[in-house]
Structure 1
């Protein structure tokens, strides 16, 4: 990234720097640019859903390639004057004026507000070969991939609830207890009634055929259980380490699925001037939810800036300026013409 790419025309601070150019970030940037806010998006070009063949559940764009969706989003942001650049943000600091956003290359950019949309990291189970197949035939989300794997041989690694979710998509579901999975009597009964097979023992690896397709899960015992798709439950970890100097708050997801930024309904982090949207603050947000969160945060940021601008204008007007006697007289002359302070001219008595 070249340094001049970060500089706003005229050298003024950006209204908003968006850190992360995924669905949430571009949605926020688009809506801010459309209300004439100066917006800079800094993105490292590593979208979480890049391995997926399509993004699903997005009305009007069902099945679109995730990379194509982002390409279109960048074009839309640019069409309204927003700027999207490649880069990795290393840290953000705050002072009395606003924020300094610092990249890994040491470049610095000044901004009034920050929108964090850096997403999350999927901490996958420690099974050899699993990470290499992530997003293809190793999956986690029934809403993202369920339709595409319907009626296949589906394995579920150590998660009862995912076994229920994917049983809706196929009659051939196998739950691998793997390590540390304990089922209640009620859960055993439900799995049996639904026809879900249960396999004890730790998964030690994956079997793949010559066409680079998953064919089975290899247990520590050496036994191979046939599957065509494997569902796993990652631990979701927000990408938020670069915010450590701002005093944001991290919290565990209510369902114990991972760690995310604490925000309110608008995406406000509790640190004045800093909002977050998408998976960094909601680890379960799919593409449509992330886009909506970016829009919501953009509206909140715009309102915050409007309030700050109005307060600054009022402070500057005290003791003269727009509320001075001279200005009042000039406004009256331009608007009222021959009338003075709203009174009609006196009648001619001659």
Structure 2
């Protein structure tokens, strides 16, 4: 990444993942001045590869991001390393402040900072995150197919998760832990699909040679498993948005917190846009990139309309 950051841009994109870089590419190709500011904390950093992404199946996340940065730069966009700590509206747009004291002004702000996964406090679980512990069957189901899979219940969504992972393995165990027991209808579905329910608190995740070997219950029993799935609570990574008049709210799905927006990424605050997981918690990399491109195109259109209105005013004044 480059440390170059100019004083003023048409658009500042906060977040340099798939959504931010895709938006930056779209805006740069539209001949907009754009800076993508990236704190270097991608959600999928623990994963070895991106899966289910058209024409890029199996690409390491770091390689995918480096390709994206190069493409943004190719068309004149800036990719800047830094952490945004504040973003405020002024008389002529927005001012974005970085932790190191640098600032940039922009006509529009696009927030693509993604989310943070909050895992249950179970010893050994976080250490396996992105390896033996996964959350999305479409991202990792193929890689753990036909293995002994355990679902660590964290709430109602875990039932849905268990039924999904059953598509990839016939050996699925649902660890209830301290969660409420599923309803009779869900238990009937589990029974019909051969999903076993194990009750009782979980003491730890057991590993050997860096791999999961099972789940140790509080009563000492070891339930052998080769991989675990957990529905994390996800929270929008955007502590600075309060300065812009926005707030993260609970997502209707109960999965966590997000920043609401319309289908194009437009928030309730004029000039502030969002794209990717920060607003849609369920998006995969392909969807995230598409959302960034859509937001970038819509922002450009909004700026085109603004520029046109300004040109019309100048023309009328000259004619009067």
**Structure 1 length-normalised TM:** 0.88
**C-alpha displacement of 1:319:** 3.0
Aligned residues: 316
1:314 is aligned to 312
**C-alpha displacement of 1:23:** 0.2
1:91 aligns with 2:86: yes
Q: Is the 8 A contact 2:241 2:247 kept in 1?
A: no
**C-alpha displacement of 1:85:** 1.0
Tell me how far apart the structure 2 counterparts of residues 217 and 242 of structure 1 sit (CA, whole Å): 39
Tell me how far apart the structure 2 counterparts of residues 118 and 108 of structure 1 sit (CA, whole Å): 18
* 2:68 aligned residue (39, 64, 73): 73
1:333 is aligned to none
1:206 is aligned to 205
Tell me how far apart the structure 1 counterparts of residues 132 and 23 of structure 2 sit (CA, whole Å): 32
Q: Which has the larger radius of gyration?
A: 1
* 2:12 aligned residue (9, 17, 26): 17
**C-alpha displacement of 1:268:** 0.4
Tell me how far apart the structure 2 counterparts of residues 186 and 317 of structure 1 sit (CA, whole Å): 68
Tell me how far apart the structure 2 counterparts of residues 129 and 181 of structure 1 sit (CA, whole Å): 23
Deviates more, 1:104-113 or 1:141-150: 104-113
1:97-152 residue CA offsets vs partner (Å, 9 max, x unmatched): 00000011222111111110000010111101211111111011001000110000
**C-alpha displacement of 1:317:** 2.7
**C-alpha displacement of 1:181:** 2.8
5 Å-filtered alignment, 1:1-350, equals: 5-7=4-6, 13-158=8-153, 159-209=158-208, 211-320=209-318, 323=319
1:290-345 residue CA offsets vs partner (Å, 9 max, x unmatched): 0110011011100111111111222223332xx47xxxxxxxxxxxxxxxxxxxxx
Tell me how far apart the structure 1 counterparts of residues 65 and 247 of structure 2 sit (CA, whole Å): 29
Q: Is the 8 A contact 1:177 1:201 kept in 2?
A: yes
Q: Is the 8 A contact 1:93 1:246 kept in 2?
A: yes
Q: Is the 8 A contact 2:135 2:230 kept in 1?
A: yes
Give the unaligned 5+ runs of structure 1: 325-350
Q: What is the RMSD of the two structures over their aligned residues, measured on CA atoms?
A: 1.4
Give the unaligned 5+ runs of structure 2: none
Tell me how far apart the structure 2 counterparts of residues 265 and 184 of structure 1 sit (CA, whole Å): 34
Q: Is the 8 A contact 1:125 1:233 kept in 2?
A: no
Tell me how far apart the structure 2 counterparts of residues 131 and 319 of structure 1 sit (CA, whole Å): 64
Tell me how far apart the structure 2 counterparts of residues 233 and 202 of structure 1 sit (CA, whole Å): 17
Tell me how far apart the structure 2 counterparts of residues 17 and 74 of structure 1 sit (CA, whole Å): 15
**C-alpha displacement of 1:249:** 4.0
Tell me how far apart the structure 1 counterparts of residues 278 and 296 of structure 2 sit (CA, whole Å): 16
Q: Which protein, 1 or 2, shows the higher relative CO under an 8 Å CA cutoff with sep ≥ 6?
A: 2
Tell me how far apart the structure 2 counterparts of residues 86 and 319 of structure 1 sit (CA, whole Å): 43
Tell me how far apart the structure 2 counterparts of residues 319 and 23 of structure 1 sit (CA, whole Å): 44
